[in-house]
Homo-oligomer: A and B are copies of this chain.
Amino acid sequence: MYNEFNAFVREQFKTPEAFIPLHEPRFFGKEREYVMDAIDSTFVSSVGEYVNRFEEMMAEIAGTKYAVATVNGTSALHIAMILAGVQSGDEVITQPVSFVATCNAITYCNATPHFVDVDLETLGMSPRALEARLNEIAELREGVCINKETGNKISCIVPMHTFGFPCRIDEIVNIATKWNIPVVEDAAESLGSSFKDQHTGSFGLLGTFSFNGNKTVTCGGGGAIVTDNEELAKRAKYITTTAKRPHKWEYYHTETGYNYRMPNLNAAMACAQLEMLPTFLENKRELAIRYQNFFSELSAIEFLTESETSLSNYWLMAVQLKDRASRDQFLEKTNSESIMTRPIWELMNELEMFNNAPCGAIQNSRFLVDRVVNIPSSVRIK
């Protein structure tokens, strides 16, 4: 089977021998033209036309009124949580299945993650697990959601659309509303993914995206915060750009700000990449269908697909093995042949810095971490 799989992957990427990475960027749009233009303009830093254009394009794509560029996805999450009201000592509900950036951003707010399980079908936060956990440990005190066990405020819910598969975000937002908790949607991995015809990232009070080198669309490093709330959008821009009061020459900063600006040089690349997004999505979907056909012949391995009500960007494609031993064998037999594959991240509640954090029943997360593996998912050059 492994030989067949390795040969199949090599055929897709037309790469007979060399290393095949999990996800590598493609620059066959206007990346070089726009980047050269940014250099020619001398506006390579935090102010520039490409930053403005990038923000317009992102608002258009996400279907939100506003988008604010940031230096990366982690910084976008950090600021979105601050704007959602997360304060020192609070708890933020998130999922154990995620890249560490989500929990790190919670830590930067001096808050603690509080883990609830994911759905097996979406790999994202489970509305049922969220509801059950809140019913178990939370109560509303004068409209504020408090964890009865710890006495801490639960000030935010951060679901994440794992590998680009949209989670059941509408139900999550409904539950959050009932408990008066704002939602920050971590859409770092789901640019181009939609749920019930609405783009991921646009359901919560704020949504965040990443444009790191391994993402569907990259600009070296970059992020974005999207929202329909004008005041929050203005504050996002303000505190990511050092919170300087506008003045023709004075330097007066009114609060603790951040240097989380996306340089115009990177924004130029991001604009060109965003223009390619429809092409990339189509190309990746075609590969997903081919993988699905390939794996449909194998009973021991399941290729993971989008749910009926959603469209995935198929950022990182994934298969589910029978058990941890099969997973490890798959990882060995592919990586040893220079076909890069990777297990899902170590569960966040297992990391040293979060293993004392509040945590609900997480049997699905534990099931998935033993079985799910990402397989090469780059846009293929035709």
Contacts and interface: CB of A to CB of B under 8 A. Distances in A.
Given A25-B44, A242-B100, A255-B352, A265 B343 contact: no
Given A39-B27, A213-B44, A256 B221 contact: no
A361 interface: no
Could you say how many copies of this chain the assembly holds?
2
A324 interface: no
Nearest to A43: B213
Interface string A153-168: 0000000000000000
A319 interface: no
Interface residues of A, number: 64
Contacts of A218: 44-45
A38 to B, nearest CB: 8
Interface string A175-218: 00000000000000000000000000000000000001110001
A107 B44 contact: no
Nearest to A35: B35
A75 interface: yes
A252 B35 contact: no
B335 A252 contact: no
Main secondary structure, interface of A, reads: loop
A337 interface: no
A73 B258 CA distance: 11
Contacts of A254: 351-352
A39 B44 contact: no
A211 to B, nearest CB: 9
A75 B108 CA distance: 13
Interface in A249-274: 249-259, 261, 263-266, 269
- Among A25, A213, A266, the most chain B Cβ lie within 10 Å of the Cβ of A213
Contacts of A74: 258-259
A39 B261 CA distance: 21
A143 B263 CA distance: 44
B104 A258 contact: yes
B265 A46 contact: no
Contact of A346 (B220, B250, B351, B353): B250
Given A44-B218, A71-B71, A249-B341, 20 more contacts: A25-B45, A27-B42, A31-B39, A32-B36, A35-B39, A36-B36, A44-B213, A45-B212, A45-B213, A45-B214, A45-B220, A74-B259, A101-B259, A219-B265, A220-B264, A249-B331, A250-B343, A250-B346, A255-B353, A256-B353
11 contacts: A25-B45, A27-B44, A73-B259, A74-B259, A99-B251, A108-B108, A221-B263, A249-B331, A253-B351, A255-B353, A265-B269
